[in-house]
Structures are given as C-alpha cells and as structure tokens.
Structure 1
Amino acid sequence: MPLHTLPPLPHREGAARPASTLGQVGREVDSGALLKGGREILIRHAGQVYRLRHTRNDKLILTK
C-alpha cells in the first residue's frame, strides 16, 4: 500500500517547526495509514523492534 504525502500543516505559535524549515528532508504520513485501523504496530529498525501504540487518549507512544 503506497504511503501518501500530506500537504504541510500551517505553523502554530509555540509548535515545533516542520522538518523542512530546519533544513532537513522529511515527509508526513497519516497515522491511520500506518495503523490501518489497528491500535498498534511493530516497527523493525536497525535490528531492534519498536512498538507504536495509539492510546485511548488519542496519543501515539513509541517504545523499544
């Protein structure tokens, strides 16, 4: 399933700046595209497994 790039979000005062304004290349992926209706996924990175979890409070938590 291809991931879609979303348009940049407007900057809010006090919010973190988008990666593009920091001179870094980045892309934005909707969490729904990653989770596909589930509450968590496992991500393998550099030989380690991380868990990305969508909480009841509508937060995302990434743990090793």
Structure 2
Amino acid sequence: MILRGVRDGNSYVVTSHGRPVARIIPADREEEATSGARAVLLARLARQDIVQIGRWTRDELYDER
C-alpha cells in the first residue's frame, strides 16, 4: 500500500517515537531530496565553530578498542 502510494507520487515520513527519521519518496524525486539534504548539511557545517585538534598519528587513526 505504501509503495503503491509512492509510485503514484506520494511521499511518506517514517517516525521513531514520534520523531521523523526518514522520508520515502518516489525515485524520480531522489535528486531533489538529496540536494535539499546537502544544503541543510552545508548550512549546519557553516554555522559550527572550527575545532583545532592537531595532527593524528597513524596508530591513533587505526586504534582498535
């Protein structure tokens, strides 16, 4: 039933405990959703402060705990 609705052009929001976590959209609208998500991500990154953490060693990058 949901897939039939998507095929007909509808989109659906998937929630977890009342909070939206995903959107099911028709495949031909995927680019539209991706570009919107990209814009939101870039805007969020632009607002964040730059954190200087220094250089990592190879051992720190591949630390397996």
Per the normalisation by structure 2, the TM-score is 0.27
